[in-house]
């Protein structure tokens, strides 16, 4: 835990399902927390996907009480997924954890993924043709909004986890979904037993993921360098890249720069697949849409702007108060409205589709005692501040 540099007197959440992995993590974290002045809070998700889920969550609560660990059950009451159950259950889990931690000022949460999970993830992604980022598999530390996800067990074997609980005479529950071969992860778990027999080792996989992580960091370094140097982010919320400079960099960096720019401008919640990025750059057209953005090749530059239809609708701006609208922070001295559209003077050096995405502020005309007050921008000086917010 020392490698994660958690500040003294922090509160750290731990996801506890009642299975051996998470229960062992909760026990060891509690011991560590007591020695370092750090409070541990156990969090159990009831997905409501099985009839036994509520009973199992209550069983975990009893175990946490015995261990003197503060504990909360987070229950999902939305519609039950019928397809891609594993993926959607994971999204539900992370959303509930993030929501609770944000409300309770918890910045760190520990999860019990271990070396078997890392191996299963590696081969599942290899089968789908993942690139370097995917084959890095599970990161020991990751960010989800303001919440830091920490996985201390990634180099730990399942056998060590079970032996630890047995030595402390702590029981656990087995999730029947872990034996259900309709789930991809379970199928990989069974198949990997054959690979271990022919010489593949968990140690070798962990070493590969670490080296791939190192390669990923190098690629991201040069991606960020090009982005800072050659991708011009206009304060009106669009990006501009010189085609000659873009085409000089290796394709892998080009793909990453393109993805980063689309994410910065479009700020879509859905991550882009590598296939969609590769198709876009290998069959580059003069004008197309991707990830909520217009991509336009125009006058030796690539312009990337958010689609007009994807931007937020008109919004009122109260006088002298900061508000957020779409990807902007706005402050205006007088009551106003903001919307996406073209300004009165179109610009010849910027494509019209790009200009359609500009934030337009109009000062409101108000009535006071039957007297019409017009704020004429040509004769009056009214302070307006508009700041583009890049996605973190």
Spatial neighbors of 256 by CB under 8 A, at least 6 apart, are 219, 220, 223
- Examine the fold and report which residue of 293, 308, 323 is the final residue of a domain before the chain moves on: 308
pLDDT digits (tens, 9 = 90+) for 38-85: 999 999 999 887 778 888 899 999 999 999 999 999 999 888 887 887
> Of the ranges 113-117, 275-279, 325-329, 367-371, which one carries the lowest mean pLDDT score?
367-371
Q: How far apart are CA 192 and CA 179, in angstroms?
A: 14
Q: What is the pTM of this model?
A: 0.79
* Band (372; pLDDT cuts 50, 70, 90): very low
User: Number of structural domains, the chain?
Assistant: 3
CATH code of the domain containing 116? 3.40.50.620
CB under 8 Å, gap of 24 or more: what pairs does 243-252 form? 243/297, 243/300, 243/301, 243/302, 244/300, 246/302, 249/222, 251/281, 252/219
309 against 199, higher pLDDT: 309
Q: Which of 210, 244, 268 is the last residue of a domain?
A: 210
Whether residue 378 has pLDDT greater than 60: no
pLDDT at 373: 42
What pLDDT does residue 374 have? Answer: 46
Q: Looking at the structure, do residues 357 and 374 belong to the same domain, yes or no?
A: yes
Do 106 and 180 fall within a single domain? yes
Q: β-strand 108-110 against 147-150: which pairing, if any?
A: parallel
pLDDT at res. 75: 93
CB atoms within 10 A of CB 66: 9
Q: Given pLDDT bands bounded at 50, 70 and 90, which one contains residue 33?
A: very high
Give the pLDDT confidence score for residue 366 in this predicted structure: 52
> Do residues 258 and 322 both lie within one domain?
no
**185 pLDDT more than 90:** no
Q: What pLDDT is stored for residue 392 in this prediction?
A: 56
pLDDT at 176: 65
139 and 282 within one domain: no
Identify each DSSP E strand in 177-292 by its residue range: 231-233, 238-242, 287-290
* pLDDT of 123 strictly over 80: yes
pLDDT of residue 377: 46
Reply yes or no on whether the pLDDT at 367 is more than 50.
no
Is there a single domain that holds both residue 151 and residue 71?
A: yes
Asked if residue 175 has pLDDT above 80, the reply is no
Which residue range(s) make up the domain with 304? 224-308
Instruction: Work out the pLDDT band at 236, boundaries 50, 70, 90.
Output: very high
When pLDDT is averaged across residues 315-335 and rounded to a whole number, the result is 93
Please check whether residues 303 and 328 belong to one and the same domain: no
Instruction: Please report, rounded to a whole number, the percentage of residues in the chain having pLDDT higher than 70.
Output: 94
| pLDDT digits 0-9 by tens, 268-310 | 888 889 999 999 999 888 999 999 999 999 999 999 999 999 9
The dihedral built from the CA positions of residue 347, 350, 355 and 360, taken in this order, carries a sign that is: negative
> For residue 112, is it within any domain?
yes
Kindly state whether residue 215 falls inside one of the protein's structural domains.
Answer: no
Q: Which of 176, 210, 244 is the last residue of a domain?
A: 210
Report if residue 216 sits inside a domain. no
Residues 294 and 344 both lie in one domain = no
The mean pLDDT value for 88-105 works out to: 92
Question: Are 272 and 318 found together in one domain?
Answer: no
198 and 60 co-located in one domain: yes
Ordered DSSP codes for 292-320: TEEEEEETTEEEEEE-GGGSPPPEEE-TT
Rounded to an integer, the average pLDDT of 341-368 is: 81
Residue 267's pLDDT band (cuts 50, 70, 90): very high
Domain assignment present for 217 = no
pLDDT bucket at 177, cuts 50 / 70 / 90:
low
Regarding whether 288 and 335 lie in a shared domain, the answer is no
Do residues 207 and 155 lie in contact, with contact meaning Cβ atoms separated by under 8 Å?
no
Q: Which of 20-24, 83-87, 217-221 has the lowest mean pLDDT?
A: 83-87
Looking at the fold, whether 321 and 300 belong to one and the same domain comes out as no
Contacts of 90 (CB under 8 A, 6+ apart): none
Are residues 304 and 322 located together in one domain of the fold? no
pLDDT at position 85 is 77
Average pLDDT over residues 242-266: 96
Structure-model confidence comparison of residues 195 and 275, the more confident one? 275
């Amino acid at each position: 835990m020392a490698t994660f540099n958690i500040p003294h007197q922090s509160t750290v959440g731990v996801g506890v399902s009642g299975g051996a992995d998470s229960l062992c993590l909760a026990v060891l974290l509690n011991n560590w927390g007591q020695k370092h002045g750090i409070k541990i809070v156990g969090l159990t998700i009831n997905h409501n996907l099985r009839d036994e889920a509520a009973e199992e969550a209550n069983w975990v609560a009893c175990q946490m009480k015995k261990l003197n660990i503060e504990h909360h059950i987070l229950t999902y009451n939305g519609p039950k997924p019928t397809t891609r159950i594993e993926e959607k259950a994971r999204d539900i889990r992370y959303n509930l954890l993030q929501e609770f931690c944000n409300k309770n000022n918890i910045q760190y949460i520990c999860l019990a993924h271990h070396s078997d999970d890392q191996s299963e993830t590696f081969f599942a992604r290899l089968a789908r043709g993942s690139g370097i980022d995917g084959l890095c598999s599970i990161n020991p530390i990751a960010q989800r909004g303001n919440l830091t996800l920490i996985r201390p067990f990634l180099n730990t074997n399942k056998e060590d986890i079970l032996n630890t609980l047995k030595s402390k005479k702590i029981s656990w529950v087995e999730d029947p979904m872990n034996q259900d071969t309709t789930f991809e992860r379970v199928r990989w778990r069974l198949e990997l037993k054959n690979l271990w027999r022919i010489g593949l080792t968990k140690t070798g996989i962990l070493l590969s993921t670490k080296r791939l992580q190192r390669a990923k960091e190098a690629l991201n370094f040069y991606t960020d360098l090009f982005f800072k140097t050659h991708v011009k982010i206009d304060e009106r919320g669009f990006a501009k890249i010189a085609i000659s400079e873009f085409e000089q960099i290796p394709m892998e960096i080009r793909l990453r720069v393109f993805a980063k720019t689309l994410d910065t401008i479009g700020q879509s919640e859905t991550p882009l697949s590598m296939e969609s990025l590769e198709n876009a750059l290998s069959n580059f057209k003069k004008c197309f849409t991707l990830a909520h953005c217009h991509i336009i090749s125009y006058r030796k530059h690539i312009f990337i702007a958010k689609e007009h239809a994807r931007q937020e609708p008109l919004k009122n701006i109260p006088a002298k108060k900061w508000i957020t609208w779409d990807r902007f922070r706005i402050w205006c001295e007088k009551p106003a409205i903001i919307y996406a559209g073209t300004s009165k003077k179109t610009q010849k050096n910027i494509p019209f589709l790009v200009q359609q995405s500009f934030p337009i502020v109009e000062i409101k005309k108000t009535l006071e005692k039957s007297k019409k007050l017009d704020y004429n921008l040509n004769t009056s000086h009214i302070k307006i501040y508009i700041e583009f917010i890049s996605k973190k």
